[in-house]
């Protein structure tokens, strides 16, 4: 699965959302469920966040970028 945006703002990254925040929950949810997750792109051309769901997950790690690769998946073209 790949989701694209218009490129406004920084490259998507995992964040720790506060209870009442209205954003910042999508990427952590996808990362928790996916086997592989990554993102690429730029503010000028847009961003793409991709995820592969195979039933196997990466081991949990510490830190905001745990499990997220800032690359493109095989077979995908750059933005």
C-alpha distance from residue 12 to each of 9, 54, 55, 73 (Å): 8, 22, 24, 16
Q: Confidence class of residue 10 from pLDDT cuts 50, 70 and 90?
A: confident
Centroid of chain to Cα 65 = 9
Q: Confidence class of residue 17 from pLDDT cuts 50, 70 and 90?
A: confident
Which DSSP state fits 10?
S
Which DSSP state fits 48?
E
- Asked if residue 62 has pLDDT above 90, the reply is no
- Asked if residue 26 has pLDDT above 90, the reply is no
Please report, for the chain, how many H helices and E strands are present, in that order.
1, 4
Please, what is the average pLDDT of the chain?
A: 75
């Amino acid at each position: 699965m790949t989701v694209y945006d218009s490129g406004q703002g920084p490259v998507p990254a995992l964040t720790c959302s506060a209870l009442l925040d209205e954003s910042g929950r999508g990427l952590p949810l996808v990362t928790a469920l996916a086997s592989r997750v990554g993102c690429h792109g730029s503010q000028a051309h847009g961003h793409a966040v991709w995820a592969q769901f195979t039933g196997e997950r990466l081991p949990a790690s510490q830190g905001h970028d745990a499990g997220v690769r800032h690359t493109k998946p095989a077979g995908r073209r750059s933005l």
